A = this chain, B = another copy of it.
Amino acid sequence: MNTFGQLFRVTTFGESHGPAIGCVVDGCPPGIAIAPEDFRHDLDRRATGKSRHTSARHEADEVEILSGVYEGVSTGTPIALLVRNVDARSKDYAQIAEQFRPGHADYTYWHKYGIRDPRGGGRASARETTMRVAAGVIAKKWLAEKHGVRVQGYLAQIGEVVPHGYDLSVVEDNPFFWPDAAQVPALESYMDALRKSGDSVGARVDVVADGVPPGWGEPVYGKLDGELAAALMSINAVKGVEIGDGFAVVAQKGSEHRDHIAPDGFASNHAGGILGGISSGQQLRCSVAFKPTSSLRLPVDSLDIHGNTVEVVTTGRHDPCVGIRATPICEAMVALVLIDQALRHRAQCGDVGTVSPRVPSVAVEAGSELEPQAGGKR
């Protein structure tokens, strides 16, 4: 389905080259100030055409608020957001309308539905994620205002390149969301060479969330980590999700992995802020693997819908590394999971505080709020 969330529900619609994309945000708490300009910052971070390292398609992404906001404040009724598609060059795609591009959803949509909109990938285009980012803006606002939660993503790997250091204060100052400013010129060269080669490359995005209180999440099938995994894996091109130390736990010993609890807080954060599916009050940490886009100028053999062999060459405008612009999308999905779990927690346990006043307050480890473990986690 095209709805995300249980109580804070986001329904998106729209194809890459259709007249518009949009979403309906249902279940939003009343009383949040929301204006069209609130969406600008994150939509710009996600937008193409901002640097030569992303697709050249330029969309203004002007958000129109159609409902749910009265005199600048959310009323509790569904908030509909609309963005018109402007720079859609459908002729680019005419030649591939009947081809199955390798690595794309063409083949599977065709088998599932018996029909597909081939223009720009139709519904399978990452353009859909524009509305995830827009909905995420509302979620981030509420999380920050109500709970002081801050969600921050950054790029943790491009191809074989990993950061030499992790300074999240520089992430917004370069086109790669890269946490080491000194590496940025080298990355620019790397990407220029990649683009010239006509090839693409994968990436890893990390997202951290600070300020999440203990208690969010549900312990079995609605686990906080389970829903984060679903949310992040639902982003186009994602092939892996990790919480905390992720796959590194395979080679760890229990004595090494378990995070000691001292009177002044947890001594480490291998768990990534989640125990038994419920937030522990520590920093939430997750990682996402993005595959390299399959839309390349380099020709490749494939089939068309009639079973004929064809050579596919994609001449549209594409990102050589889709993981870069995915950073705000990952943040949005984390924020959407958090607000939904926060509301669900309030529903079932809204008065637990009065039941157990003895619950100790555990401090987040000093100095590590926005920094990965010393030495890198991998």
A124 touches which one: B15, B214, B276 (CB < 8 A)? B276
| Whole-angstrom distance between the Cβ of A353 and the nearest chain B Cβ | 8
Contact stretch, chosen from A40-48, A54-62, A165-173, A227-235: A227-235
| Whole-angstrom distance between the Cβ of A168 and the nearest chain B Cβ | 20
| Whole-angstrom distance between the Cβ of A307 and the nearest chain B Cβ | 4
**A112 on the B face (CB < 8 A):** yes
Q: Bound state CA distance, A222 and B12, in angstroms? A: 12
Q: Which 9 A-B pairs have the closest CB atoms?
A: A105-B276, A103-B258, A114-B356, A200-B254, A230-B230, A108-B278, A347-B347, A254-B292, A111-B214
* A346:B350 contact, CB within 8 angstroms: yes
Q: Bound state CA distance, A221 and B259, in angstroms? A: 33
**A1 on the B face (CB < 8 A):** yes
Contacts of A12 in B (CB 8 A): 78, 220
With most chain B CB atoms within 10 A of its CB, the pick from A79, A102, A281 is A102
**A189 on the B face (CB < 8 A):** no
With A14-B67, A105-B275 known, 8 other A-B pairs at CB within 8 A are A13-B68, A18-B67, A70-B115, A105-B277, A204-B247, A226-B233, A239-B243, A240-B240
| Whole-angstrom distance between the Cβ of A236 and the nearest chain B Cβ | 8
**A306 on the B face (CB < 8 A):** yes
* B199:A253 contact, CB within 8 angstroms: yes
Contacts of A128 in B (CB 8 A): 220
**A328 on the B face (CB < 8 A):** no
* B112:A305 contact, CB within 8 angstroms: no
Q: Bound state CA distance, A244 and B239, in angstroms? A: 7
From 326 to 364 in chain A, residues with beta carbon under 8 angstroms from any chain B beta carbon are: 343-353, 355-356, 358-360, 362
